Amino acid sequence: MGRGTVQLLKGENGSGLGSRWGAYFTAFFSCGCSGQAGIYQIYRLYVNVGFCCCCVLRLPGIEAAKRRHAPKEGSQVISQSDQTVAALQDLIERGSLEPGSMVSERSLMQLTGFGRTPVREAIQRLALSHMLRIHPNRGIEIPAASVEDQLSRLEVRRTIEVLAVTLACERAAREDLADMEVLTAALSGEFSLQSYLDTVRRTHDLIIRAARNPYLETLMAPLQTLSRRFWIMHVKDEAKEIAVGKRLHQRILAAIADRDVEASRQASLELNDYLVQFALDVVSQRARLRA
C-alpha cells in the first residue's frame, strides 16, 4: 500500500457510502499493474468498493466506451461491473476482440483497465447472453460471426423489438418523446461510420428506456450488439448502408413520438427485414467469389 494513496470516501451525510459497511476505500496507484493487485486486496477486505485503475489502454474504443457509459453529473453511479460489461461489449461489437479467438481473463483486465473481480463478473454476465463462451482450463471464446448465427439472432430480435416499440409508444414520458424528436432530426445529418454507430446505440437505448421494462435491455443488448458487429464486419458501401439505416431508424423514432403503435411496429419489421437481407447478401457475395 506504500505505492498508492488511500482515501476514505464519505457519503453526503458524512457517514460513509453505505450504512451496511460504514466506510469504503479507494486506492489510486501510479502503476496500472501494481494498482490492480492492490485494488484487488482492498476489494477482498471491504467487498463493496469503488476504484480507479490508471493502466494504459491498448485498444481503440475503450476510452470512448467508458465515456459513453460513465455516470453523468447528478446521475446514479454505475457499478464497476456494469462499466466492464459496457467496455467488453464495445470491444466485441467493433471486432477488436477477433471473432472465434480465445482470450484470457488477464488479457481482458489489461485491455479494459478494470480489476479481476469486475472483469470476472462481466465475463459471467456476457456468457449468459451468448456474447462470450467460457471454456474451463482453456480460456474465453469470442463467438464467431457467421451468417447462420446472425439469422438466428434476427429471428429473436425481430419479435422482441416489436414488443419494445409497442411498449415505448404506450409508456414513453414527455422527456423520452422530446429526446426522440431531437434524435430523429439528428439522423438527417451526415455521419461517419463511427458517429452513425454511436447514434444507432443512442436510438436503441432510448427505445429501451421509453419501454419501461428492465428485462428488455437484458434481452436486446446482446442481440443488437452482435447484429451490429456482423454489419460492421461486412459493410462495403458505407454511405449507401448508412443512408438506408438512418431512414429506417428515423421512421421508428417518429412513429413512437406520435404514439402510433402500428407504424412503429411496421418500421421495426422493416429494419429487421433490411438486416436479414443484408446477411443474405453476404452469402450471395461469398458465392460469387467462389464461382
pLDDT of residue 285: 86
pTM: 0.68
Residue 30: predicted pLDDT: 32
Give DSSP secondary structure letters for the chain.
Answer: -TTEEEEEE--TTSS-S-TTT--EEEEEESSHHHHHHHHHHHHHHHSS------PPP-STTHHHHHHHHSPPTTSPPPPHHHHHHHHHHHHHHHTSS-TT-EE-HHHHHHHH---HHHHHHHHHHHHHTTS-EEETTTEEEPPP--HHHHHHHHHHHHHHHHHHHHHHHHH--HHHHHHHHHHHHHTTS---HHHHHHHHHHHHHHHHHHHT-HHHHHHHHHHHHHHHHHHHHH---HHHHHHHHHHHHHHHHHHHHTT-HHHHHHHHHHHHHHHHHHHHHHHHHHHHHH-
CATH topology of domain 147-290: Four Helix Bundle (Hemerythrin (Met), subunit A) (1.20.120)
Rg (CA), the chain: 21
pLDDT in tens, 32-66: 333 333 333 322 222 222 333 333 233 344 455 54
User: How confident is the prediction along the chain (291 residues), in pLDDT tens digits per residue?
Assistant: 333 333 333 333 333 333 333 333 333 333 333 333 333 332 222 222 233 333 323 334 445 554 554 544 444 457 898 899 989 989 999 888 999 899 999 999 999 999 999 999 999 999 988 889 999 989 999 988 899 999 999 999 999 999 999 999 999 999 999 999 999 999 999 999 999 999 999 999 999 999 999 999 889 989 999 999 999 999 999 999 999 999 999 999 999 999 999 999 999 999 999 999 999 999 988 888 787
pLDDT of residue 77: 53
Dump pLDDT digits (tens) for 264-289: 999 999 999 999 999 999 998 888 87
For domain 80-142, give the CATH number.
Answer: 1.10.10.10
Locate 245 and state its grid cell. 439505416
Specify the domain boundaries for CATH 1.10.10.10 within the chain: 80-142
Delimiting residues of CATH 1.20.120.530 domain(s) in the chain: 147-290
- The whole-number pLDDT of residue 218 equals 87
Q: Which amino acid is at 39?
A: I
Q: What pLDDT does 144 receive?
A: 85
